[in-house]
Amino acid sequence: MSAVVEIENLTKDYEVGFWRKRKVRALDGLSLKVEGGEIFGFLGANGAGKTTTLKLLMRLIYPTAGAARILGRDIGDVRMHARLGYLPENPYFYDYLTAREFLEYCAELFGYDSRERKRRAEELLARVHLDEKSWNKQLRKFSKGMLQRVGLAQSLVNEPEIVFLDEPMSGLDPVGRRQVRDLISSLRDGGTTVFMCSHILSDIEVLCDRVAIMRQGRLAETGRLEELRARASDKLRIEITVAGADAAAIAEKLPALDGASVAPTAGGARVEVADERDVDAALAAVRQAGGRLVSVQPVKQSLEELFVRETTGVKEGN
């Protein structure tokens, strides 16, 4: 398998402010490769730079620095874009068209004849599980979830080799999420590469082969999901529960340990250390502060925690 998306040092500054213009770096030196035939998850909290990355790849905005190739072509290559599909984050369509008219219109843009347009529109609307009763309704009457389905159908109208989905599950109820999830995995089974953004770990966890975690415009982690999960659980923390002493008193006695923290609890305090070898030093501090040991417990880090920590930028021990 060769890389179908290659991103190199992609950087985007937005200019904000009216009188006093200043620059905000939304994306900072992103380098990334996505292999053909995989479902790639692009994860990060709101504001992490996911949508900006997709807009750059789709050529809706231009980079401050860096370059990217899709299907072996520079993203400036217009013909290559005809081989892609794209679902924007908050799809907004021609309100007065019906779902069917809109999809036929999209098919027309790709040059399909009228029979083929009709066939594709119907096949796709069924595929995204839009209730047949709604096919001839105007889009302005659609709910967010229904628009999301139409957007998804639209992104597949040209049978793209790779499809870019920006928060494809947003606005959907649990049943809808499941249907979209099944649709995305069927795309992969059909040989389509999927690049999907989400700020919700669980949507990505069940679907994706590889993921990248973004934090404040930077790539924080990338790899196979199992690798990240293993790496996360390697980071063992040890939790020491203490009674009869307050957090400030313990913190005062605690030597500077990498990744150690003290937090108040109802009956006393909780001390955390990142290394087993630091437990003795922490216990000594607890004793000096007049505290009583309640328990010492190793705590495994979950992928969820890794994700939250990576995305919020909270350092371990804080």
Ligand X SMILES: Nc1ncnc2c1ncn2[C@@H]1O[C@H](COP(=O)(O)OP(=O)(O)O)[C@@H](O)[C@H]1O
Token readout for 187 is 């795309």
Give the residue nearest to Mg ion (CB): 51
The footprint of ligand X (CB under 6 A) covers 14, 16, 24, 26, 44, 46-52
Task: In angstroms, give the least distance from the CB of 202 to ligand X.
Answer: 17
Do residues 153 and 127 make contact, with C-beta atoms less than 8 angstroms apart? yes
* Residue 41 binds which of ligand X, Mg ion, none (CB < 5-8 A, kind-dependent): none
Alpha helices in 260-315 (DSSP H): 279-288, 303-312
Task: In angstroms, give the least distance from the CB of 165 to Mg ion.
Answer: 11
* Residue 24 binds which of ligand X, Mg ion, none (CB < 5-8 A, kind-dependent): ligand X
Give the residue with the Cβ less far from ligand X, 52 or 261. Answer: 52
Task: In angstroms, give the least distance from the CB of 41 to Mg ion.
Answer: 14
Token readout for 290 is 């007049």
Give the residue with the Cβ less far from Mg ion, 50 or 270. Answer: 50
Signed CA dihedral, 7, 166, 149, 141: sign only: negative
Q: Is 173 helix (H, G, I), strand (E, B) or coil?
A: coil
* Residue 49 binds which of ligand X, Mg ion, none (CB < 5-8 A, kind-dependent): ligand X
Residue among 28, 32, 40, 51 that touches Mg ion (CB under 5 A):
51
Task: In angstroms, give the least distance from the CB of 89 to Mg ion.
Answer: 5
* Residue 247 binds which of ligand X, Mg ion, none (CB < 5-8 A, kind-dependent): none
Residue 27 burial (10 A CB sphere; 0-12, 13-18, 19+): buried
CB proximity list for 133: less than 8 A, separation 6 or greater: none
Task: In angstroms, give the least distance from the CB of 30 to ligand X.
Answer: 11
CA–CA distance, 137 with 102 (Å, rounded to integer)? 11
What is the bridge-based pairing of β-strands 3-16 and 65-70? antiparallel
Give the residue with the Cβ less far from ligand X, 86 or 102. Answer: 86
CA–CA distance, 46 with 89 (Å, rounded to integer)? 12
Task: In angstroms, give the least distance from the CB of 75 to ligand X.
Answer: 17
Give the residue with the Cβ less far from ligand X, 14 or 94. Answer: 14
Do residues 165 and 197 make contact, with C-beta atoms less than 8 angstroms apart? yes
* Residue 148 binds which of ligand X, Mg ion, none (CB < 5-8 A, kind-dependent): none
Token readout for 62 is 């231009």
Residue ranges that bind Mg ion, judged by CB under 5 A: 50-51, 89
